[in-house]
Amino acid sequence: MIRVGIGYDVHQLKSGRKLILGGAEIPHDKGLDGHSDADALMHAVCDAVLGAIGCGDIGQFFPNTDPRWKGAPSRVFLEEAARQVKSRGATISNVDATIIAQEPKLMPFAAAMKSNIASALGVNTSQIGIKATTNELLGFVGRGEGIAAMAVAAVDVP
């Protein structure tokens, strides 16, 4: 049976932080603020994968109140989501994600993001879709205050 999960994450942009999306470091004057590396894209993908297997969300596995995850690379979270899928005898069919950011331009980094996400999930890059869009200057994203990401994952569960 194919099951689908949806993930969404948002983080505020802040000076003095690196901008990490999809495990790629992106040159920008601000980075995303959060307990871990604040990789909103990987967080959204993680929630989508966990949701597809009915396994809660990233906060249940990696609470931001736990000092072990302070500054942690979000790759760790995706690797655990993949482990949860595998432990159920399931397989990830595909993941499709969209990053919403007014700036910087993100598509030059899409191949690296796809590779990083595919590697963490143990799938082929052809199973990962990455898109980027702006918010047309509207809302907190349009004002450059934060970046959001959403993802959907399809998982084949026996």
Residue 50 is encoded by which pair of tokens? 């966990």
Query: Given this model, what pLDDT does residue 65 score?
Result: 87
- Position 69 scores a pLDDT of 84
- Averaged in consecutive runs of 10 residues, what is the pLDDT profile of the chain (158 residues)? 98 97 98 96 98 94 85 94 98 98 97 98 98 97 98 97
Asked if residue 106 lies in contact with residue 132, where contact means CB atoms within 8 angstroms, the answer is yes
pLDDT at 26: 98
Q: Estimate the crossing angle of helix 40-52 against helix 110-121, to 10 degrees.
A: 40
* pTM of the model as a whole: 0.96
Residues in contact with 55: Cβ distance below 8 Å, sequence separation at least 6, in sequence order: 84
The structural architecture, per CATH, of the domain 2-156 is 2-Layer Sandwich (3.30)
Task: For the chain, give every domain's residue range.
Answer: 2-156
User: Distance (Å, rounded) from C-alpha 88 to C-alpha 142?
Assistant: 40
User: What is the per-residue pLDDT for 70?
Assistant: 85
Q: Give the model's pLDDT for residue 58.
A: 92
